[in-house]
Structure 1
Amino acid sequence: MRDRPAALMLFAAGLGTRMRPLTDDRPKPLVEIAGRPLIDHALAQRGDLRLKTVANAHYRAEQVEAHFDGSDVTVLREAPAILDTGGGLRNALPALGEGAVFTLNTDAVWKGPAALPLLARAWDPAKMDALLLCVPRDQTRGHTGPGDFTTDEEGRGSPGPGAIYSGAQIIDTRLMDGIEGPAFSMWELWRRALAHDRLYLLAYPGLWCDVGRPDCIPMAEDMLADD
């Protein structure tokens, strides 16, 4: 087992139903924001980290494969069904390796420091099974709802209205031990970490925009362009 994460899972297998009609002919991770596909905005969050990187794909998977052809990203198809976030991560373990890994959603853009190096510097496997990068509500764009997590003085997280989960985290894949069935949510892992007070939050210092719907695209592009 490794203490410091050396691998990244990119979640890119969703159907993109909320992004229609833009996803009628392409997967959501290839929708462009400011002339750049969403999945490339996500990859930029590696910063200067050298990580083994794996992306899952399902809807129009051949386009994701073509996008990464010749790159350092390995694409794994999920078929015949999507495995959800937890199941997708477990399916990728042979390529990622065991232990703690980064995971990253591909439907957001960021303005500020690269997300994954921030997580790497804060990761403490002695007390953490999961470290989630969250964004204060006044630093977000395009997100609806009351927020996802609150935090105590020591940084431990609890579900509830508060900061918004950015889609970036470090998670110990041993949390999946004993979970049955091929498809399951990341929440199954988080519940296990929460039960032992080992889920922690880290606040992102920059701006972040959820790009889950077509109307979020101008919000994201304005955020990126605003000096």
Structure 2
Amino acid sequence: MLFAAGFGTRMGELTRDTPKPLLKVAGKTLLDRTLELTTVIAAERTIVNAHYHHQKVAEHLKGTGVQVSIELPDILETGGGLRNALPLLGDGPVFTSNTDAVWHGPNPFEMLRDAWRPDDMDALLLCLPKENAIGHKGTGDFVLNEVGQIRRGPGVVYSGVQILKTGGLADIAETSFSLNVLWDKMCASGRLYGLTYPGKWCDVGSPEGLQLAEGLLEAKDV
């Protein structure tokens, strides 16, 4: 499940007529870059949600085999959007990913797949040390303990990619809600885990982020 429904307001004029996932970095859209990374896991199906300029997202994906979950009339946030797409996704654990980042290092989806332990985990979030999170401002999102369980606090930065069991979504009353609601429940039961990414990652949420991402990709090609 790739999240592509947001308004991209920090991009200003760049997203006035174009959804952020269709902005290009080094000649390729952010959405296509994320889709390319997912090929390593050979998912049974791939869903992209869409709201803002949803017609353009659907047109871009036409003929690819990727299904689009359109959110209308209201945007549903990450939790509501994932729950809305469950009829397309099925009942098993899912990978979810934002579509506004570029990577320099191992494939993030492959790392999560290899570290996933469903007997112990309800979610496994890929995180980064702050110094490897290019363009990210803040003190971090989570603290990891010695076995990888995570709790809220200043520390590592969530990368936007995870494996998640979806059963708990049915117990949330709101229609539009963040996945943070589900994470908090998993954290309370000791089943929210994190994995540290060893490479670099760039948040492409602003025009400055686009420039930083171009620089990261240029460094990767050297």
TM-score range, shorter chain: over 0.9
- Conserved? CA contact 1:47–1:114, under 8 Å: no
TM-score where L is the length of structure 1: 0.94
State the match for 1:37 in structure 2. Answer: 29
Q: Is the 1:61–1:77 Cα contact (8 Å) retained in structure 2? A: yes
Normalising to structure 2: TM-score of the pair? Answer: 0.96
Q: Deviations over 1:84-131 (max 9, x none)?
A: 100000000000001210000011111111111110110001110010
Corresponding residue for residue 198 of structure 2 = 205
Q: Distance in 2 between matches of 1:33 and 1:147?
A: 25
Of 23, 28, 46 in structure 1, the residue corresponding to residue 20 of structure 2 is: 28
Q: Is the 8 A contact 2:168 2:182 kept in 1?
A: yes
- Partner Cα distance (2:178, 2:40) in 1: 29
Residue 73 of structure 1 pairs with residue 62 of structure 2: no
RMSD: 0.9
The share of aligned pairs that are identical, in percent, is: 51
Measured after TM superposition, the shift of residue 10 of structure 1 is 0.4
Write out the 4+ residue segments of structure 1 that deviate beyond 6 Å after TM superposition.
none
Can you give the 5+ residue segments of structure 1 that lack an aligned partner in the other structure? 1-8
Partner of 2:105: 112
- The total of aligned residue pairs comes to 219
Is 2:196 the counterpart of 1:186?
no
Check the 8 A contact 1:44/1:114 in 2, yes or no.
no
The equivalent position to 1:64 in structure 2, one of 57, 65, 68, is 57
Q: Which letter does structure 2 place at the counterpart of 1:27?
A: P
Question: Between Structure 1 and Structure 2, which shows a larger proportion of helix residues?
Answer: 2
2:143 match: 150
Instruction: Write the distance in 2 (CA, Å) between the matches of 1:130 and 1:166.
Output: 14
Q: 1:163 & 1:93 partners in 2: Cα distance?
A: 29
Residue 40 of structure 2: SS of its match in structure 1? Answer: coil
Cα offset for 1:206? Answer: 1.1
Q: Deviations over 1:149-198 (max 9, x none)?
A: 11000000011111110000001001213111211110011011001000
Contact 2:18–2:53 (CA under 8 A) maintained in structure 1: yes
Contact in 2 for aligned 1:155/1:202 (Cα 8 Å): yes
